[in-house]
Structure 1
Amino acid sequence: MISADLNGKCVLVTGGLSGIGLAAVKTFAACGARVAVNHLPNDPATKQVLDELNQDGYLIVSAPGDVSDPDQTETMVEQAIETLGRLDILINNAGTSNTREPIAFDDLDAMSEAFWAKIMQTNLIGAFRCARAASPALRSAKGAIVSTASVAGLGVPGSSIAYGASKAGLINLTRSLAHALAPDVRVNAVAPGLVRTPWTDPWPDERKAQTIANCLL
């Protein structure tokens, strides 16, 4: 477990109910931060996960909202900041592959307009919406933004062409926001390889092995 003194710091983690997002929530909270956990408004796992986090003594608040929806995103960020009282760190983790299993790159017919729209609205534009809404509070706090990209955005085959493109866009967005918000806000991204989560569990073993082989570490 990462150890740091984050007492007094306030964090918003989007997509925080499972996988990498939930791990981030637990880590920040264990280090003393107050954490707003963003989740889909009707996610059935919400109550159980938040109850377990609060039972562990963590300082957790709920921040419902779908980042693919512009109105919900702005309201979610504003309410999270109001509840926390400030915002020091934004973790742009909410994302979707929009598929349970990888889609072959040569299956272009599977890349429908609706498929592209869902992925880009969540993975790329949603991250921008959150950053834009949070930027005044982050500037005041001299805070930071960290976005969850992917090795799929660096050329390693991901779950689909659209997913890889969205993560490549997120990496570029990170660079642009770093310039736009400097020197008040630090903006970075991490690009994980294959991580065992409910997303990747259904993947064929062959595809998992291929993805791991294409990663540097």
Structure 2
Amino acid sequence: MTAALKGKVALVTGGSRGLGAATALALADQGADVAISYVASKEKADAVVAQLQAKGVRALAVRSDQADTAAAKPLVDQVVEHFGRLDILVNNAAIAVQGKPVDAPDLDTASLDRQWQVNVLGPVALTRAAAPRLAEGGRIVYIGSRLGTVVPWAGAADYAGTKAALIGYAKGVARDLGGRNITANVIQPGVMPTDMSAEVLGDTVPDAVLDQHPIRRIATLEEVAALACFLAGPQGGYITGETISVSGGIGV
């Protein structure tokens, strides 16, 4: 463990599994106390909390459904009440709906609309709730997707749109909060070994997808989490309003 983030408090949404859990653990490795939010699995969330506490930091799991924008303020309030402050917000929670071309006759518009609700309105609501409570020099990190700027296959319009929306929003947030030395940036991962990716691509990443990557493999969770920690740390204080890809070069 290093002490780069000792004394800081981080909130990672969707922190009970996948990239959220990896990011929470990486932040704890640098000394941060960490709160995670989750929707369904209290057992998984409690397991992550135990892993965090084993690293010698304070930890908290809060059940909060990002689809419900009214839940954002109570989540932030609970974190600040528990830890006494909030320094780092990682907007990680998201869903991916199996896509079809927008002219498909059986397009599942209800599920796609919910994707917009969770992936865009959820982070917006949480940012609004957190902004007044963030400490001077705070950090906001949005987990986007390389699909937010490069769409190499069909059927991803709505998912890509939700992630592209975060880019513009983060730029505006960076402008709004820069006077308090609060940064806001977007990380764009490519394919990662997560449950969400498996639901869309299956258990094995197709060769056709790997072939589009100059570095012909998928990202590790640790690679993406490391960038989140850098942006959240002292050396990331002059990076704001930026979009940084961790995607093996897809789209270059």
For normalisation by structure 1, the TM-score amounts to 0.86
1:155 aligns with 2:150: yes
Query: Following the alignment from structure 1 to structure 2, what is the Cα–Cα distance between the partners of residues 94 and 130?
Result: 11
SS of the counterpart of 1:194? coil
2: distance between equivalents of 1:122 and 1:207? 29
In the TM superposition, what is the alpha-carbon distance from 1:47 to its structure 2 partner? 2.8
Q: Distance in 1 between matches of 2:57 and 2:97?
A: 31
Matched-pair contact (CA < 8 Å) for 2:88–2:139 = yes
User: Cα deviation per residue 1:185-213 (whole Å; 9 max; x = unaligned)?
Assistant: 21111111111212223515145325535
Judge conservation of contact 1:124–1:170 (CA < 8 Å) in 2: yes
Q: State the partner residue of 2:24.
A: 25
Q: Tell me the distance in 1 between the aligned counterparts of 2:142 and 2:81.
A: 22
Aligned residue runs from structure 1 range 187-206, under 5 A: 187-202=184-199, 203=201, 205-206=206-207
Q: Which residue of 1 aligns with 2:74?
A: 75
- Residue aligned with 1:94, SS: coil
Contact 1:157 1:164 survives alignment (8 Å): no
Within 2, Cα distance between the matches of 1:12 and 1:146?
10
Which sits farther off after the overlay, 83-92 or 49-58? 49-58
Displacement after TM superposition at 1:67 (Å): 1.2
Q: Which amino acid aligns with 1:30?
A: D
State whether residues 37 and 62 of structure 1, in contact with CA within 8 Å, keep that contact through their aligned partners in structure 2.
Answer: yes
Higher mean Cα deviation, 197-206 or 83-92?
197-206
Which 5+ residue runs of structure 1 have no aligned equivalent?
Answer: none
RMSD over equivalenced CA pairs, Å: 2.4
Mean Cα displacement is larger for which, 180-189 or 199-208? Answer: 199-208
Equivalent residue in structure 2 for 1:115, among 108, 111, 117:
111
Please name the residue that 1:183 is paired with.
179
Q: Structure 2 counterpart of 1:112, which letter?
A: D
Number of residue-to-residue matches in the alignment: 212
- Aligned-pair distance for 1:104? 4.1
- Provide the C-alpha distance between the structure 1 equivalents of 2:176 and 2:136, rounded to a whole number of angstroms: 16
- What SS is found at the alignment partner of 2:191? coil
Distance across 2 between alignment mates of 1:197 and 1:216: 21
Q: Distance in 2 between matches of 1:119 and 1:20?
A: 18
